[in-house]
Structure 1
Amino acid sequence: MNIKICGIRRKEDISSCERASADLMGFINIKRSKRMVEIEEIIDLTSFMKDKKKAVLVIEPENMADAKQGIEKTGLRNIQLHSLSAEEIGELKDDYQLTSATAGDHHIKSDLTIIRALGLSEDIDPQKVREIQDFAGVCDYLLFDYEIKGKTGGTGRQIPLKTAIEAAKIAKNSNPDLELFLAGGMDKKRIEEELETLEEFFDFVDVNSGVEDEPGVKNTSKINELMKITVLNKT
């Protein structure tokens, strides 16, 4: 199981995550978030990372131009989106194409890795099924987070495991190559208790408040304890 630690705001928390071998770190540039960091701060923070490929820019752009501005300014290529339609995401990926020639043919792939956050609550209705299927067709990853009033992220509430598994199956049936994150109040206790099931259906867990003393202030001991679970499981 891979771990993304999100809501990074301090250089010392980057060091803690790196020492504990966190797989990804998220930097949130969304005004409504308690862990909001300005683009200039993200540029500064990520400059201290040993491997910037582990940085994820978390944004909720109003439009494509807004998204591109954040991407260009930070130079980050792992992008977690809390907005934009499937069609817009397809266009965004097309705008960042890489072309490589292999054995005479040209394979086109995007320079961007797109994670699209999707909200879930207790049940999955037909509209949500279509939404999952649409985004599964254009994204590299889907991240399921608890949704309140149409907004995801920062709720601290957990998606029921049965609902999360149902969503994962819909996504994988639509695109078997898709990788999946589970977010929403994730902490050491839940990951330990449900690790076997989580590993069967998800590639990453996304942890935020579960390793904090307060919003945006990570706790090194909690990070270390959390990462021990996954390190032991990988060996």
Structure 2
Amino acid sequence: MKVKICGIMRSSDLKSLEKFDPHFIGFINIKRSKRFIDIAKINELMDKMENPGKAVLVLEPEIAEEVVKKANECNIKNVQLHSLSANEIAKINDINIIRAIGIPEKIDDEKKEEIEEFSKVCNYLLFDSMISGKSGGTGKQIPFKIAIEAAQIAKRNNNDIKLILAGGMNTQRMEDEGKIIKENFDYVDVNSGVEDSPGIKNIHKIEEFMEICKVI
């Protein structure tokens, strides 16, 4: 099972977690996040990465041009978006787009259409729980039946889309549900589940989580 570890703020955490070879490493440049870091700090961390190609820049931009500008400033080719419409994303070239989609406790026709539209223009979809209309950083798990329903909608519309499951991911959940998660998703995204506090990663939790994911 491939893993994305998000919310990196410290060079010591970055150095430690790279030993376990996650597929993606996320840096959050969204001011509402408890794990916000600015572009200068992201560049500082990027300079210390063994494999900068794994970096993901997490944004909530107002316009598509902001995505290109910040990605170029950091020399990052993978961007996770918590905003912008499918039409706006279609304007972005030469960047791998992960679009986060907040999943409610029930998928209605509007949410189904949203998943379908983003699956046409993005490289990855990341499903996270939704609170007050916002996705990301909630620490809340999506009801698994609903997560699978969302995955099936995306795959029916674009069989090549890569899917990431986020929201309250931790070692216990991977032990309990890891096999069925792997059947429906390509990646899992973990953040607070491997932390002592926001932005402070726990290397022992990361090691435990990664070991479980490797054997699923």
TM-score category, normalised to shorter length: over 0.9
2:130 matched to 1:154? no
Distance 1:190 1:208 in 2: 13
**Structure 2 residue identity aligned to 1:25:** I
Query: How do 1:203-214 residues align onto structure 2 when only pairs under 5 Å count?
Result: 203-214=186-197
Larger Rg: 1
Partner of 1:197: 180
**Structure 2 residue identity aligned to 1:49:** M
User: Structure 2: which 5+ residue stretches go unaligned?
Assistant: none
**Structure 2 residue identity aligned to 1:27:** F
2:43 matched to 1:43? yes
Which segment drifts farther, 140-149 or 61-70?
61-70
Query: How do 1:220-231 residues align onto structure 2 when only pairs under 5 Å count?
Result: 220-231=203-214
Partner of 2:64: 64
**Structure 1 residue identity aligned to 2:109:** P
Partner of 1:73: 73
3-state SS, counterpart of residue 35 of structure 1: coil
Residue 16 of structure 1 contacts residue 223 of structure 1 at CA under 8 Å; is this kept in 2? no
3-state SS, counterpart of residue 213 of structure 2: helix
Calculate the aligned-residue CA RMSD, in Å: 0.8
1:191: Cα distance to partner?
1.1
Distance 1:177 1:22 in 2: 22
Query: How do 1:1-235 residues align onto structure 2 when only pairs under 5 Å count?
Result: 1-93=1-93, 111-233=94-216
3-state SS, counterpart of residue 30 of structure 1: coil
User: Structure 1: which 5+ residue stretches go unaligned?
Assistant: 94-110
The number of residue pairs the alignment matches comes to 216
**Structure 1 residue identity aligned to 2:122:** C
Residue 8 of structure 1 contacts residue 14 of structure 1 at CA under 8 Å; is this kept in 2? yes
Distance 1:86 1:54 in 2: 24
**Structure 2 residue identity aligned to 1:212:** E
3-state SS, counterpart of residue 90 of structure 2: helix
Q: Would you identify which runs of 4 or more consecutive aligned residues in structure 1 move more than 6 Å?
A: none
Distance 1:230 1:183 in 2: 14
Distance 2:183 2:35 in 1: 30
Deviations 1:27-86 (A, max 9, x none): 000000000000110011011000001100000001122222211111100000001110
**Structure 1 residue identity aligned to 2:189:** D
TM-score of the two chains, using structure 2 as the length reference: 0.98
Deviations 1:123-168 (A, max 9, x none): 1000000000000000000000010111011111000000000000
**Structure 2 residue identity aligned to 1:154:** G
3-state SS, counterpart of residue 76 of structure 1: coil
Residue 174 of structure 2 contacts residue 213 of structure 2 at CA under 8 Å; is this kept in 1? no
Distance 1:75 1:23 in 2: 18
